[in-house]
Chain A
Amino acid sequence: MDETQRRVDELRRRSSEVENHLIDELRAGKIGRREFIRRGAIAGTSIPLLGLVASACGVSREELERVDPPQTGAPQPGGTIRAGVLAPSGALDPLTVTDQGGLAVLGQSGEYLVWSDKELKPVPRLAESWESTEAGQVWRFKIRQGVSFHDGAPLTPEDVAATFNRLADPDAGSNALSVFGGVLSKGNAKAVDDTTVEFQLDAPNGNFPYLVSSDNYNAIVLPASYDGDWEKTFIGTGPWRLEQFRPGSGVSYVRNEDYWDPDRRTVADRNDFRFYSNEQAQVFGLQGNEVDVLLQFSVSGGKALLTDPDIRTIELQASAHRQIHLRNDVEPFKDKRVRQAMALLVNRRALVDGLLDTKSDFGNDSPFAPVFQSTADIAQREQDVRTAKELLAAAGKEDGFRVQLNTWNGFEMPDLAQLLQQDVRQAGITLDLTITDAGTYYGEATFGESPWLDSTMGITEYGHRGVPNVLLGAPLLSKGTWNGAHFKNERYDSLVADYVAAVDLDVQRARARQIQELLLDESPILFTYFYYYLTGTKNDVADVDVTAMGHIDLARTGRVA
């Protein structure tokens, strides 16, 4: 142990006070090992060292991921791995891809500066290391040497700069604009020398490495000369090279022989992605042995997989959830007591254990999912019909009311809507359901022309994110663009601003507690559960590496003998 103790002391000498603070927290058991490594890495400390320090403090690595039935053998080299994903909704173009099928495909042949792994910690990939100066306003990334694109051209800082300037360019129509808006403007990424790229940010941002990591899935590094027709080449620096693209039905890759990282050179020879038009079809596909891996399935669609003996499920704790907004500026939800009553009527245990087969954490009516480390521990709100009725009576709604609930027919949302309908019936409240297709629900996605943003009560699907920043912003800030609840609260706005700016964990957690208590009191949006990210694989396939963001790394995947 003394060896590790010596290493820890050495680390203390070199690390900034922020890093020391983390080590104290770790020792005090206030943060888990995983969070310690993650926060340390953000500050620029190398991962192996952090791993050592963490193990020195005696915290195991495995608590986040549960694999059942556990893996048996080690993967044998060669062969083909077949993966099934939901068909991408449009052309496969790094700039515009938004859906899961698309981003999984991007991650095969494309690579990021930083890889955000399943424990949300940033692993250096094309960027060997990075550091920030001026309190997070300027960030410099050291670009790995000896890396080449699939067409043989070497990777240069100019390629990296061009990639990010392209993403931040409003005219490029890229999906990444919503990430870089107000953070990085076009032209502020420059290659300062032949190994470094410097980013001049519009405002200090403690989490910038995340914004260039695989969490921002549009950010795969492309050659400076990229002209936009990605489907022809799938150009990238990744471990897999394009073999054949079958539009609408799938894509197949072969091993990139001169890949820069020897121990991530692919175990299998080929990897074949197959597109499925809907959940039921991909479930039949996996059970019918047409594919070996399903990138993701929902409990509602894939219940059959959970009980299938020759299929292994990998569960990842995640922050994906459903937001049930109650419009605060319209009857009957103007009075917060009515909103609290609604929150108290929901039977969350039935949702988590029944609807989601325990494959989910509980939601406590705030974006702070248990998976986020900055989440403060606050008493979990339970179903309490008696108090709910008292609140309703106090608010003059003792004999209930009638309200319309809008949502769209994706995953388990129609079931959730029907369960809510039954829960609130106990207090005489009647919910009229209007369930349409996604296009109709989101409409023009601007206030006044979108049931999502105009309906009195609506259920909206939110994907997983490494950090709660976005979830605290757009849906809840006074001028948030996704604020279906029309929640306007200055104190909340200022608390969020403080939280985002804070780099230190304690400061973030303190703000988080205040935010959580405020939201519990105001209850503008019900967060009932944060369901796990489920991946399904055949038993004879090993070492499939997935992240809750929807990435799948099949480099080390292979068939067990």
Chain B
Amino acid sequence: MSAAPAATAHALELDALEVAYRVRGQWRRVLRGVSLQIAEGESYGLVGESGCGKSTAAFAALRYLPRNGRVSSGGIRVAGEDLLAMSDADVRRLRATKVSMVYQNPTSALNPAIRIGEQVAEVFTIQGSSEDEAGDRAREMLEKVQISDPAGVMRRYPHQLSGGMNQRVIIAMALAKDPALLILDEPTTGLDATVESEVLDLVAAMRKEFSSSVLFISHSLEVIARMCDRVGVLYAGRVVEEGPVGEVFDNPRHPYAVGLLRCIPRGGARKDKGRLDTIPGFLPGLGAELAGCVFADRCGLVQDICREKEPDLLDVGNDHTSRCHFHEKAQSLPRVESPAPVKSEAADGDGTPILLTRNMRKTFHQDGHDVRAVEDLTLELGEGETLGLVGESGSGKTTLARLLLGLTEPDEGSIVELDGRQLAGKISKRDREQVRAVQIVFQNPDAALNRRFSIHRIIARALTMLVGTKGTAMESRLQDLAHSVRFDVRLIRQRPAQLSGGLKQRVAIARAFAGEPRVVVCDEPTSALDVSVQAAILNLLAELQAEKGTAYLFISHDLGVVRYLSDRIAVLYLGRLMELGDAETVFGPPQHPYTEALLSAVPQADGKPRPRIRLEGEIPSHADPPSGCVFHTRCPRYIGDICRDEEPELKEVEPGHHWRCHYSAEELRELQQTAPPQREESAP
């Protein structure tokens, strides 16, 4: 048995931890001498982009590396015990009592063939309690994590619950053993903004009650800012900066941290106020050989010493360290992008809509039920304008996009017009001109580009089909397109698998623009990308719009991103348009109660608290939407029977600002500036 744990032992201590993976016969370094301590009750955030090794650190702390991974050197002490020296039985005991984990995608982390109750009770049976005792304690635990009907949930299977509900179950399981260390690996990445904030609130509340220390892993600075006391910034398997959260975010002392903070569209940043800054280059491949400072290749302040000598973790005052020779000059990192705002052509367009829909409706027939995905939607999109489309998942955003593109056929009576001419419901019935005019950029570039084709062939094919050019004329257009999306022509012969996420999305954008489209639908184009690459793509979209006058229908669940790019914003709920107006008017009061709740869920990078509005209950199903105003079952500003009985019209409450609510603009402005919303009684 290892030495008795010291009284004030750290929950987790990593000491110069080196981890490597064996890929096709060679060992690749993933963690390069990571050291960190998490004191008892402390919440430590580990932030970094994909491939920097943060999940590896988490699993190393549980000694659960995949078969081809190994700890090359360094020490791991969990709750005072030396993890690496332990026997398998001891590791199992540790996992059963001391350490637990919450995973990224909750639904797949639960066994599809076993009921929820059984899986939660299992945590208790391991610690020796009897079957029914475990059952009771499981129900208690589920109540603790604010699950309204624990007995009902226990009988159900994971696929019958929403992502948010499953994550609560996993948190219940994790906290059931009252662990010394709770590890959360990107717990809310896959969830909607509203659900995300609920889960984060739950974790914060639980921490107080269970006094476990927390290792919180995320790629999102806002989430870390909100949840953690101290933070470590990881890049290419090495901690480059560490310190108290406020310190690190307000006074970043490493170029990478500085660059990261500049990439995030926060605090109301907008394209016409100033371009987002980016970090040049790519994230290094898994286990790449990096001499000297790991960030040297992409750092604006790099000097010879950086490439020769690996900087140590230097102390920069009040418990804040940075691994940079020139940490004091970090914040003067030169901008990569010129801060000049992107002047948009939209302003001087003559305002005639190039694309409009009138009472667009779409009903799906599943297992005999009629599911109304989109209901009576009327929208217009002006020349060179960006219309942001927001709403929780399942609100019908993507269906609307597929309807406009002709990938899904709308119901009878739906009208879609392009430049005044009726657009056929099915893509195959549209002529080449109409096909060229409306294109799309998908969310996941890996799936959107045929992985067997070279980049050249992908773009060339789009040019041939949409524009009909061939031979040298096509080649030169291809070169121009590549330049316009800042894609290095020398890589034109590569296949998608060999390119980074950002580069692939640039190819997808080039393909969309091959036919000089009038409208491009962007369906969450940046949510699959890393933060630093995200900014570059947003800037690119903005520049292309400015240059070519293309209108965007921009779909995203990240309101910061939407705010940065959109001129006007439409808010969707259960397939209906709830609010439509200019970006700034929608983002400020008065707002439709649903929009108000949506915005309150968005954490601010600067960590300033904002009155949180929690939406009760689950999103109702499209199959049988609630009567009257569809939002009345969850609306924090529920007036009374009128909301339940009468569906409000989408009316223009202010010039250019419409919403679907019984309140008038003045009433809501006054309400929203004073009284925080609270619900007298829950809807029937």
| A/B: CB atoms within 8 Å of each other | no
